[in-house]
């Protein structure tokens, strides 16, 4: 170790290496971690430091963490040496000068969880037959390599790294490039005009970067393109490419950008998913949307779209998800909206809708009938290249390298992203934050598959329907900030899946229902600002609960005692009266009242003795 500068403690007379700098040991005094990053080598003759310097480290079979970053080590990575480190969990070797190939022994380390090479190895440029390259979810840095842009590769996945700069024009000039996934990096600048020359492209995912400018018109030449994800960038334009009607595009995501102008409808009619949320689109929805007969997922939330909910939307019978939250919609909810037979998620919240809730919403069969997970999964509708399936590759082996944009909804009062892979699990109806009035239709209780129901922040009145107890799959119910009155239906105790309930800021009274699940919904904020609720959940006893059965039993005994005391008083009165009468007769006899004597003297004598007796 004489070559290492800064590790003087390693040459000390102490045999306890666990006390050395950059060394960590376990409780058995076995070396488990070495951090040699940024170590400076003393090179008196300017010789290169080769990978042989690592040879002594390969004897540390208890090593679980090894950091050898930024040392400028040259040479090949020793596969045989690293194969000895069977307990290795993390290996960081970025910013060195290794050459050659990555030894397959690294991928045989069964405990290895984190491997950081941090740059695309140049030796890959010598692999002339390389067709598939996946370096996703690393910490790769730097610009897109020129040699990689000029390689004849078919599947290139570099997502979730730290790559930056612009994309080379040369990258898209190969017709054999089928899949390009560069999501979650730091790429910037406009897209090359040559993008349309990649006519063999099937999947293009450039989301979560810093691309800007307008979309190249040539993108419409990619006739085989099935999945296009440009979300979460800085694109800004009021013009969209006019896609060829014969294009294979099925999934198009332009959300979280800065597009403006009218809602674009220049997609091929085979498109099934159009995501345009979090932009600056304005105006009315165009009626030609009805031409998209295969549309399953339509998302316009957080834009500036105006007008009433067009009736023609009900003609898109294939629609599974319709999200128009946070726009400037007005008017009433169309009665024939129930013609949408398939919707699983309908979000019309945060608009200016008024009028009553149409009872016909209870006919949304997508929220009534059970769903077949295999057919209703939005992931099954997302395009997956048929040629890939023909090569017998499983979807699960590949989808980990790509991540589609989550559907944003308010679920249990929080904004959450529902993963596209599992959208079939969510059945949601959200009409909150509008100006809806009148009573809640009782027929909405038939939507037994509904999991989230939000009518909060409206002007609804009347009672909570008893039928809500039949919403057997309901997990979240929010009726807060309305004018609802009366008692909370006891039928809500049947909702065994309910985990979130908000009835605050209404005019509800009476006993909060009790049951296995309702008793757990004991957040006082869920019931606050009502007229007179009581129950276990808010620690306010109801009038009927102020006396327990035991107390009532004690209250019953005095009543029996009182009746007995009444009888006893009358009986004593009779006995006392009789005793007093006979006592008086006896006294009169003793004093001679009944003897023959003058009336006047006898009367005086009686009066005298009576007075004495009373004293």
pLDDT along the chain (615 residues), means of 10: 56 73 87 82 60 85 86 82 87 75 74 71 69 79 87 88 93 90 95 94 95 95 94 94 92 95 94 95 93 92 94 88 94 88 89 95 84 48 44 41 67 69 80 96 93 96 95 95 96 94 95 93 94 90 64 43 44 52 55 48 37 35
Tokens 């800064």, residue located: 6
CATH (residue range 378-387+403-541)? 3.80.10.10
For residue 229, the model assigns a pLDDT of 95
Residue 595 CB burial class (10 angstroms; 0-12, 13-18, ≥19): exposed
Between CA 341 and CA 184 the distance in angstroms is 36
Predicted TM-score (pTM) of the model is 0.72
Measured in degrees and rounded to the nearest 5, phi and psi for residue 610 equal -65, -40
Residue 105 backbone zone (phi > 0: left; psi -120 to 50: alpha; other: beta): alpha
Burial tier of 221 (Cβ tally within 10 Å: 0-12, 13-18, 19+): middle
CATH 3.90.1310.10 fits 1-118, yes or no: no
pLDDT reported for residue 213: 96
Output the pLDDT for position 608.
39
The number of angstroms, rounded, from the C-alpha of 5 to the middle of its chain's C-alpha atoms is 51
Instruction: Report the candidate in 434, 473, 247, 291 with the shortest Cα–Cα distance to residue 353.
Output: 434
Report the phi/psi class of residue 173: left, alpha or beta, with left for phi > 0 and alpha for psi in -120 to 50.
alpha
pLDDT of residue 475: 93
Residue 214, pLDDT score: 95
Sign of CA dihedral 365, 368, 370, 376: positive
Residue spans per domain, the chain? 1-118, 378-387+403-541, 549-614
Q: What is the pLDDT of residue 400?
A: 45
Fold agreement (1-118, 378-387+403-541): yes
- Would you say 403 and 382 are in contact if contact means Cβ atoms under 8 Å apart? no
């Amino acid at each position: 170790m004489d070559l290492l500068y800064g590790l003087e403690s390693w040459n000390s007379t102490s045999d306890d290496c666990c006390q050395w700098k950059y060394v960590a040991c376990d409780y058995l005094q076995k070396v488990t971690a070495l951090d040699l990053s940024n170590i400076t080598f003393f090179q008196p003759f300017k010789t290169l430091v080769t990978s042989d310097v690592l040879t002594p480290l390969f004897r540390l079979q208890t090593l679980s963490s090894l950091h050898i970053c930024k040392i400028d080590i040259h040479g090949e990575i020793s596969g045989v040496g690293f194969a000895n480190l069977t307990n290795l969990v993390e290996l960081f070797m970025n910013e060195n000068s290794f050459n050659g190939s990555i030894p397959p022994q690294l991928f045989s380390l069964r405990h290895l969880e984190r491997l950081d090479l941090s740059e695309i190895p140049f030796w890959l440029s010598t692999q002339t037959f390389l067709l598939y390259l996946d370096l996703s979810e690393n910490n790769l840095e730097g610009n897109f390599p020129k040699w990689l842009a000029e390689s004849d590769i078919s599947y290139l996945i570099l997502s979730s790294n730290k790559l930056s700069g612009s994309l080379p024009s040369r990258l898209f000039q190969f017709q054999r490039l089928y899949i390009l996934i560069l999501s979650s990096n730091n790429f910037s600048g406009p897209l090359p005009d040559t993008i349309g020359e990649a006519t063999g492209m099937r999947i293009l995912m450039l989301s979560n970067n810093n691309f800007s400018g307008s979309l190249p018109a040539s993108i419409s030449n990619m006739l085989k393109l099935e999945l296009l994800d440009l979300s979460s960038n800085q694109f800004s334009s009021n013009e969209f490419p006019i896609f060829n009607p014969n294009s294979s595009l099925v999934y198009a995501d332009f959300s979280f950008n800065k597009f403006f102008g009218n809602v674009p409808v220049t997609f091929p009619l085979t498109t099934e998913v159009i995501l345009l949320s979090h932009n600056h689109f304005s105006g009315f929805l165009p009626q030609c949307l009805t031409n998209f007969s295969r549309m399953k997922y339509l998302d316009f939330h957080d834009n500036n779209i105006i007008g009433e909910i067009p009736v023609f939307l009900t003609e898109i019978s294939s629609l599974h998800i319709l999200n128009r939250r946070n726009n400037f919609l007005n008017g009433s909810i169309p009665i024939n909206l129930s013609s949408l037979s398939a919707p699983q998620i309908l979000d019309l919240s945060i608009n200016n809708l008024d009028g009553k809730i149409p009872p016909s919403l209870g006919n949304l069969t997508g929220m009534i009938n059970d769903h077949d997970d295999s057919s209703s999964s939005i992931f099954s509708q997302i395009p997956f290249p048929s040629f890939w399936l023909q090569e017998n590759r499983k979807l699960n082996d590949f989808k980990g390298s790509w991540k589609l944009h989550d559907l944003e909804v308010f679920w249990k009062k929080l904004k959450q992203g529902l993963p596209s892979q599992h959208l079939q699990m969510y059945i949601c109806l959200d009409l909150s934050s509008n100006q809806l009035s009148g009573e809640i239709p009782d027929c909405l209780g038939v939507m037994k598959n509904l999991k989230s129901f939000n009518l909060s922040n409206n002007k609804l009145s009347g009672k909570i329907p008893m039928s809500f107890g039949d919403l057997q799959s309901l997990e979240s119910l929010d009726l807060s900030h309305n004018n609802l009155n009366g008692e909370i239906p006891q039928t809500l105790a049947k909702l065994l899946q309910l985990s979130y309930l908000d009835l605050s800021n209404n005019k509800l009274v009476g006993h909060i229902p009790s049951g296995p699940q309702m008793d757990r919904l004991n957040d006082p904020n869920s019931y606050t600002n009502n007229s007179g609720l009581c129950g276990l959940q808010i620690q306010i006893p109801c009038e009927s609960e102020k006396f327990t059965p035991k107390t009532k039993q004690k209250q019953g005994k005095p009543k029996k005692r009182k009746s007995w005391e009444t009888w006893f008083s009358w009986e004593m009165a009779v006995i006392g009266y009789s005793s007093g009468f006979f006592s008086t007769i006896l006294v009169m006899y003793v004093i001679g009242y009944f003897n023959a004597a003058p009336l006047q003297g006898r009367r005086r004598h009686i009066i005298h003795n009576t007075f004495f007796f009373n004293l």
